[in-house]
Structure 1
Amino acid sequence: MDYSLLVSRLGKQIRDKRVNRGLTQARLAELAGLTRQKVIAVEKGTLSVAMVAYARVLGALDCEFAVIPAAMPTLEELGDLFE
């Protein structure tokens, strides 16, 4: 499984959780002690973002990591890899 796809999925899950909670990126950044630009990078699944930024965002959302078997990529995800 391609690691960039896994990070992209994590970013999407974080964005979905933020939206479901009714938080703006700016408010989440404030809660996590990060800049809004860093939250944007986390939600995009940017590979250069440090693990601590992901952990701070998840903590601000009252969430944690869970290790589960990876699902096969969807056609949409495969297409995104080649953009």
Structure 2
Amino acid sequence: MDASVITQRLGHQIRAMRLNRGYKQADLAKLAGITRQKLIEIEQGSLSVSMNAYARVMAALGSEVKLVPVTLPTLEELEDLFDE
């Protein structure tokens, strides 16, 4: 799996968690001690952002990373790809 796919997925999860908790980008950035621009880059899955910045945001959200094996898509998921 490509590293950019991993950071994009992580960024989407961070954004979803931020929205679920009702934080604006500026609020979460302040809690994490980073700039709002850096948070935007994290939510977009930027590879140029340091792991420290990702970790600070996850800590501010009270979350952690759990490594799980990659699974192959189901037939239903593959069908969905072709419907788009």
What TM-score comes out, normalization by structure 2 length? 0.84
Identify the residue that residue 52 of structure 1 maps to in structure 2.
Answer: 52
Identify the residue that residue 5 of structure 2 maps to in structure 1.
Answer: 5
User: Aligned partners of 1:18 and 1:71: how far apart in 2?
Assistant: 26
Q: What CA RMSD, in Å, does the superposition of the two structures yield over aligned residues?
A: 1.9
**Structure of larger gyration radius:** 2
**Residue 71 (structure 1) shift:** 3.6
Paired positions, count: 77
Gaps of 5+ in 1: 76-83
**Equivalent residues in 2 for 1:20-59, closer than 5 Å:** 20-59=20-59
**Equivalent residues in 2 for 1:12-23, closer than 5 Å:** 12-23=12-23
Secondary structure class of the residue paired with 1:34: coil
Identify the residue that residue 69 of structure 2 maps to in structure 1.
Answer: 69
Gaps of 5+ in 2: none
How many percent of aligned residue pairs carry the same amino acid? 56
